[in-house]
A and B are shown apart, each in its own frame.
Chain A
């Protein structure tokens, strides 16, 4: 092990982790407001990547400029999914049923993507994708740095929306207690629909960065969703700050262990941390204490 490798791993952990944090934010926001575990989040990330791919290949639109189209498009996709499927889930089995419904949605999207784009791997291209700049002997890929900045901007915008707008107050009230929120006049249904749309919209950005740093096909979603779920469990289901901390720490821990010890232990090391945290704080790092009716 040398110091360059160690510093590079730390850099990779932070830059890549921020992208995962962005993708997981949508998942945790949706769970927090709607009690829905969105298993389709992984395939929605890939759908976001394919949208960027289509814009690039057919209309030669730059990946970052394309976000002006893909983010609103994914927001609408989220609204449609919520209206068609999620809004029908009610009652005490809602969360459990959401697993089945979102898995079905995931399969539907995966099949459609396979039909449209085939199962052959593709990768998003741009002049900046393979380029990097160096500080000392540490190289920073432009696309990773841009992804880090993009994640920062979008997560800041989300925070601003949640803590500085009237809609944010409604979301936070719904996060805290849907019944009480409804009693004080908040349209919880509308809040849920828009929140689902926002949760899906952020996948457009996450998907674009993922697609520029990895070649992918629709099946890439399986590895993604397992990662995203573990991030929100570690961070605390429904906690935005938790998703951010867990997203960065998950990749950071894995990358550091990979360099110090061996890559074969990188995934396991993260799960060891996850188990320890859950033993000490079953609600995750920033989750609320769970209460269960007797």
Chain B
């Protein structure tokens, strides 16, 4: 059958109009959900990485979301509607996450959407959700590339990642010259979460006279880190800055360093040591001693909302405050922020929620205050550096902060 160009264009136009109409219909059905029938539950659609590379983080996020939903339901739900979470797995895939949100909105007609784990997935998720006019409030998508997309519906309740390592770099450069390390190695996964953090501090440390002896990016799909870790060890840096997303990456580097008899004076990883029990189990409590990680929150935070959440988490899952993963609070904070927006707008209308979140209002969460700029970036949080000291996970930077304790420096040798 011949298909002329004109016919093709007409068919394409018809398909586009039909598609757009379907999207509009689907979007309308969600966006107009402000008026839920009395007693009807409010459904929140979430795609999480329950398998694949981010599954450990996905599980912690699921715990955070469920903890929040249980808390809200204990007090009568959102505006009297019981909260029901519809969580589906995206297997850590940026394509599956798009399919999931499309399905959650257009087929399951959820009322609200919460974000997935990681910048890698949050960006495609927000783009998909934006087509339906839904807000996507998320807790783990703070990479610059996420905000550079200029999406109006995206809101990240956590600390934007680019500045995560700034307090750490300030601490290093503030050390007296005699004590200050002289060499540094940067080794990072090619991930939107890790690379911006590393590139931000490199010129700062260089300016302070700390020589870069190793600086390489490695692909995210690496299965064996030994040779990379050995190359870092061979360059004998006093400081190692590891751009990692998960526990396996950090534990592999730690093990390879130990095997090669190399123990840096300072070892900071962008992700992994903040995973509480999971990290301790993988590396052993003694090896964790002295490991550092940047973040905006820790289990010992004095924020009353955080204390409440931590107490409930420990009651439900056991462990100690130090062992609560930061993923849990990032997810929990998403719920808290959306709950305040729902209350303020008096319903579940996504358009009104987006407007409200863009109104420069300051909201409260277990991670601290939240106020969004035009890009959906939280402008209020302060970056901190945390360190494992024995079996305690403590805040060590900024140095002047009343909650900071002195840095364990130099890092004890492995197993000490």
Contacts and interface: CB of A to CB of B under 8 A. Distances in A.
Contacts of A262: 216-217
Contacts of B283: 123
Interface centre among B51, B224, B259 (most CB of A within 10 A): B224
B226 A213 contact: yes
A114 to B, nearest CB: 7
Interface residues of B, number: 48
Contact of A139 (B91, B259, B281, B414): B259
Contact of A258 (B56, B59, B231, B281): B231
Contacts of A223: 221, 223
B281 A122 contact: yes
A219 interface: yes
A120 B258 contact: no
Contacts of A119: 50-51, 55-56, 58-59
Interface stretch (A33-41, A92-100, A263-271): A263-271
Interface of A is mostly: helix
Interface string A224-236: 1011000000000
A10 B187 CA distance: 20
Interface centre among A120, A226, A258, A262 (most CB of B within 10 A): A120
Contacts of B414: 130
A213 B92 contact: no
Contact of A5 (B51, B218, B230): B230
B186 to A, nearest CB: 12
Contacts of A12: 224, 226-227, 230
B221 A131 contact: no
Contacts, number: 143
Contacts of A4: 234
Contacts of A227: 223
Contact of A130 (B217, B226, B255): B255
Given A132-B261, A223-B221, A262-B216, A16 B55 contact: no
B52 interface: yes
B226 A144 contact: yes
B285 interface: no
A160 interface: no
Contact of B217 (A120, A129, A214, A264): A264
Given A12-B226, A130-B255, 10 more contacts: A2-B235, A8-B231, A9-B231, A130-B259, A213-B224, A215-B247, A215-B252, A218-B55, A263-B218, A263-B227
Interface of A: 2, 4-5, 8-9, 12-13, 16, 110, 114, 118-123, 125, 129-132, 134, 139, 141, 144, 213-220, 222-224, 226-227, 251, 254-255, 258-259, 262-264, 266-267
What 5 A-B pairs have minimum CB-CB distances, sorted nearest first?
A255-B227, A263-B218, A5-B234, A119-B55, A132-B259
